Amino acid sequence: MPRPLVTLPGERLTPDEYLADHDENFWRTDSSGCWKLERQQHFVESGDASWDAFDRGDWPRALALMEERRHALADYEKRIARHGFEVRRVRVVEEPISAYLIWELHSLNVRFQEGGKIRIADGEAVAEAERHEVLPELFILGRKVIYQVLYTESGELDGAIKSGDPELIRRWTATTRRLYDEGEDLGTFFARKVAGRVPSAAW
77 is a domain residue: yes
Say if 70 falls within a structural domain: yes
- What pTM value is reported for the model? 0.95
Taking the CA atoms of 21, 73, 182 and 83 in sequence, report the sign of the dihedral they define: negative
Long-range contacts made by residues 54-60, C-beta under 8 angstroms, separation at least 24?
54/103, 54/199, 54/203, 55/203, 57/201, 59/198, 59/199
Q: What CATH number corresponds to the domain at position 183?
A: 3.30.870.10
Q: What is the pLDDT of residues 74-84, one digit of tens each?
A: 999 999 999 99
Q: Is residue 139 part of a domain?
A: yes
Looking at the structure of the chain, the number of domains it has is: 1
Domain containing 126 equals 11-193
Residues 54 and 107: their CA atoms lie apart, in Å, by: 11
Per-residue model confidence as pLDDT tens digits over 154-200? 999 999 999 999 999 999 999 999 999 999 999 999 999 999 999 98
Report yes or no on 113 lying in a domain: yes
In a domain, 6, yes or no: no
Q: Write the pLDDT tens digit of every residue in 182-192.
A: 999 999 999 99
- Residue 203 domain flag: no
Confirm whether 1 is domain-assigned: no
Give a yes or no: residue 46 inside a domain. yes
pLDDT digits (tens, 9 = 90+) for 90-133: 999 999 999 999 999 999 999 999 999 999 999 888 998 898 89
Rounded mean pLDDT of the chain? 95
